[in-house]
Amino acid sequence: MINNSAPKYSKRSSFLLFITLTTFSVTLRAQNTPTISQPAQMVDALHTVFGKHPAARAVHAKGIILTAKFTPAPQAHQLTTAPHLQQKAVLVTLRFSDFTGIPNIPDTAGASNPRGMAVKFHLPDGSATDIVAHSFNGFPVATTDEFRALLLAIGSSGANARKPTNLDKFLGTHPIAKTFLMTQKPASVSYGTLSYYGVNTFKFTNKEGKSRYARYQFIPEAGEHFLTKEQLSASGPDYLSAEIRKRVALHPVKFKLYAQLAEAGDKIEDPSIAWPDSRKKVLLGTIEIYKAADNTPAEDKELSFIPNHLPHGISIADPMLEDRSKAYPISVKERQQ
């Protein structure tokens, strides 16, 4: 029987698996490295935790590419002038993934959470715009510097590290990061039965010049469904990619894309603070995934998603987006060498 209700989150076991796996094949670094001055330092911090693997992404290394169609909702153009939200359907390239930069991490491992969803909208003029999301509503820290510090703390806190470890110290002063690590969702039945959240904030501007701040949410039409412990133990290390291939071969997998609108007092520049569920959500459209791509190594190596590749009508409101967008091309270049 599928567990799609309580308990919603697995706690201690997920946290312990996270720490065990993210210290596997790690090159330890000193904790007194200076704060970020170049995007390359952020990529290096990811390698510190997950190791550096040939032709692999620095994070979300294991994934599957699919092809989809996005149909905008009738009201979407009232929020923004972005071309993919103006009544015409566009082609989408989508990639689901496990967390970590370890390309052979088992889908059944706690450290494979949160799952990732990256979406590339192919615009009518031949350009593209991307959204990067994951299956947890929120981010462990507020800034890029803090995220790098968290990664370095994990990388230097293996099983033989002296207590209290650098990670213990970091989590003692960053309770939101501790919550993030200890309250990931259980293993899902499918990549298609998870909600995904764009944790950074964007500014949407319509043709009248009116702007609203918003964050993305991808909600599966099938609802969220999770495996029982027994089902998880019987699942293979690559069950998610196998399952989504079978699922889309039978029928399209659909997600509703929403813009959750900020209200006065909401933290626009802090992705670690999730906005309340009571905030208004505007339906932007429907993503309909209808086939798996060839998923050749060359295809995965070439495909990248940059969150500040934005069309007119949408702009950055969270400074972390600039840091992320500068770091991504460095990871892309590394895996293409």
Is 42 a domain residue? Answer: yes
Q: What is the CA radius of gyration of the chain?
A: 19
Answer yes or no: is 167 within a domain.
yes
Residue labelled with tokens 């002038």? 81
Question: In 276-290, which positions are buried (b, 16+ CB within 10 angstroms) versus exposed (e)?
Answer: eeeeebbebbbbbbe
Model confidence at 33: pLDDT above 70: no
With a cut of 50, say whether residue 45 has pLDDT above it.
yes
Q: Is the residue at 254 inside a domain?
A: yes
Residues 272, 265: Cα–Cα separation, whole Å: 15
| Tens of pLDDT, residues 66-80 | 999 999 999 999 999
Q: How far is CA 168 from the centre of its chain?
A: 25
pLDDT, residue 29, reads: 35
Range name among 18-27, 143-152, 273-282 with the lowest pLDDT average:
18-27
Q: How far apart are CA 198 and CA 316, in angstroms?
A: 13
What pLDDT does 337 receive?
Answer: 67
CA atoms of 198 and 281, how far apart (whole Å): 13
Is pLDDT above 70 for 206?
Answer: yes
Nearest-5° Cα angle at 160, 155 to 166:
45
Model pTM score: 0.88
Amino acid (1-letter code) at residue 23? T
- Judged by DSSP in three states, 46 sits in helix
Burial letters 15-42, b for 16+ CB under 10 A, else e: bebbbebbbeebeebeeeeeebeebebb
CA angle 215, 103, 168 (to 5 degrees): 65
The answer to whether residue 4 sits within a structural domain is no
Does residue 76 belong to any structural domain of this protein?
yes
- CA end-to-end span of the chain: 46
Cβ neighbors of 100 (< 8 A, separation 6 or more) are 21, 22, 49, 50, 59, 60, 61, 62, 111, 112
- The amino acid at residue 253 is V
What gap in Å lies between CA 256 and CA 252, rounded to an integer?
13
Residue 148 domain-assigned (yes or no): yes
Q: Number of folded domains in the chain?
A: 1
Q: Is residue 117 part of a domain?
A: yes
- Asked whether the beta carbons of 145 and 36 are under 8 A apart, the reply is yes
Closest CA to 305 of 39, 91, 122, 41: 122
* Tens digits of residue pLDDT in 91-134: 999 999 999 999 999 999 999 999 999 999 999 999 999 999 99
CA distance 263 to 215: 12
**What integer pLDDT is reported at residue 54 of this predicted model?**
86
User: Token pair for residue 209?
Assistant: 């010049």
**Do residues 244 and 66 touch, judged by C-beta distance below 8 A?**
yes
Find the mean pLDDT for residues 258-268.
96
Mean pLDDT of all residues in the chain?
Answer: 87
Q: How confident is the model at residue 6 (pLDDT cuts 50, 70, 90)?
A: very low
Looking at residue 196, which CATH number applies to its domain? 2.40.180.10
* Residue-range definition of the domain harbouring residue 258: 12-336
- Is 1 part of a structural domain of the chain? no
